[in-house]
A and B are shown apart, each in its own frame.
Chain A
Amino acid sequence: MNSAAPLHPILVHFSVALTAASVLFDFASLLLGGASLADAGWWTLALSAVMTVGTVATGVRSRLRLPMAEGPARSYLRTHMALGPIFLGFLLAATVWRATFWEQAIRVPATYLAAMGGLLLLMTVQGWLGGELVYRFGAEVRGRYRSLPVEYPEPEAERPPVNEVPGS
């Protein structure tokens, strides 16, 4: 199973995109009107709630197969792990709240959008921690990144020859 690609970094993009899209749709619906925008706001959030259950579950799966020594990366990882279920809980609560508006076919109030702003903030912190784990600490990254090309500021002739100790 260890050779399988990690699913967590794939699913997390659905959680992020669907939650953010839901808020945008609802905001647009509040500004512009239109039942279809409000419907899109509900369905994207409902789908996000479903996907995020998978996101959290695959996150635990990723951790199970990721040996990591104590250090800064592990500290980031612990915070990321703690925030995952917390985000899911708040997302589920928001989904139930949003469902009540959808069932009554009424537009979402500003208090709902303000609360969703808080949820987006939490999601941003969680996403940043996840990004640090992958792009800074290489969690579950197999192989190596190709080095980015570097331009030397000095002309070719002034660059010290390779293997020559400067000052010798």
Chain B
Amino acid sequence: MTGFLGLAGFQWLLLLAALQAVLLMADAFIGHYRSGFSLRAQYAPFVSGVLLLLSAVAVSIAPGRAALTTAAVATGALALLAGLVGAGYHHWYGITTKPGGYRWLLHHLLHHAPPLAPFALSVAGALVVLGARGGSGADQLLGAPIRLLVLGVVTVALLGLAGQSALLHYRGAFNQPAMYIPVIVLPLAAGSIVWHLAAPSATAARGIAAALLWATFLGGFVGAGMHLRGMDRQMGGLAMGVAAVIDAPPPGAPLLVAVLGASGLVALHLL
């Protein structure tokens, strides 16, 4: 295990998970505000997200301290669970109870609660659990090496983000060539991680995984710029405040891609 700029790999992983919590809360707030917070459960990502943020930052400052590690593992597990329950809610209220139900599946997937978005909270929770356990000196969790688990979580998350962005960019009719970036780069990055895990000694696999994770990181910032531009294409632009943001491309989503790319790079080089 190596460090970078005075911080160990697990500390970087925890800080990135904390940033992920902030970004997903921003998008969850916009989405849930748009639907009027009609269910109390719509506050759950903020309760879980704030706890996750605080515990991740605390344990990254003092890694290995037993109380903080326990708190981080507990809040991480809570976030993991909250994300899974949220996905169930999104499925139930976004598809099952909507007029037409599964017969209008594509319509509901495109226009109602984003089916994969809550899993972002689960991913952040899982990374905090792994970061806290790894930071306390553990090499394995549930019999598997922590590095393998981190890269596995990042791989699944990249595929999930690719799927969610494919749905929403399809809704946006891929009106900008840059909208193809996440649906192409993210699955390639996920595939390259799988290749690296299958052949850990292959230099080419590691190099290609690193290159594609950097492309994921940079692609996230390109997406952030394009989403900002998309918000300003609403009538009146960003000066309209909430009115411009609420129906515009989600501001945090592309940066989540960048943070996941960075998490993958941390796991690849520092764990």
Give the contacts of A34-79 with B (CB-CB under 8 A): 60, 63-68, 74, 77-79
Indicate if A85 sits at the interface (CB-CB under 8 A).
Answer: yes
Q: Given the known A-B contacts A81-B225, A82-B228, A99-B4, are A65 and B218 also in contact in the complex, defined by CB atoms under 8 Å?
A: no
Binds B, one of A14-22, A88-96, A147-155, A159-167: A88-96
Least CB distance from A49 to B in Å reads 11
Residue of A whose beta carbon sits closest to that of B228 = A81
Q: Given the known A-B contacts A60-B238, A81-B232, A86-B225, are A93 and B5 also in contact in the complex, defined by CB atoms under 8 Å?
A: no
Least CB distance from B37 to A in Å reads 23
**Looking at chain A, what size class is its interface with the partner chain?**
20 to 34
Query: Mostly helix, strand, loop or mixed at chain B's interface?
Result: helix
User: Do residues B237 and A82 form an inter-chain contact, with CB atoms below 8 A?
Assistant: no
Contact with A along B4-18 (1 / 0, CB 8 A): 110000000000000
Indicate if A103 sits at the interface (CB-CB under 8 A).
Answer: yes
Indicate if B146 sits at the interface (CB-CB under 8 A).
Answer: no
User: Do residues B239 and A64 form an inter-chain contact, with CB atoms below 8 A?
Assistant: yes
Indicate if A84 sits at the interface (CB-CB under 8 A).
Answer: yes
| Measured CA separation A85–B214 after assembly (Å) | 16
- Chain B residues proximal to chain A, CB less than 8 Å: 4-5, 214, 217-218, 220-222, 224-226, 228-229, 232-233, 236-239, 241, 258
Nearest 3 Cβ contacts at the A-B interface = A89-B221, A85-B224, A82-B229
| Measured CA separation A89–B225 after assembly (Å) | 10
Least CB distance from A55 to B in Å reads 14
Q: Which residues of B contact A88 (CB under 8 A)?
A: 221
| Measured CA separation A93–B221 after assembly (Å) | 11
> Which residue in B217, B222, B241 is a CB contact (below 8 Å) of A64?
B241
User: Do residues B228 and A85 form an inter-chain contact, with CB atoms below 8 A?
Assistant: yes
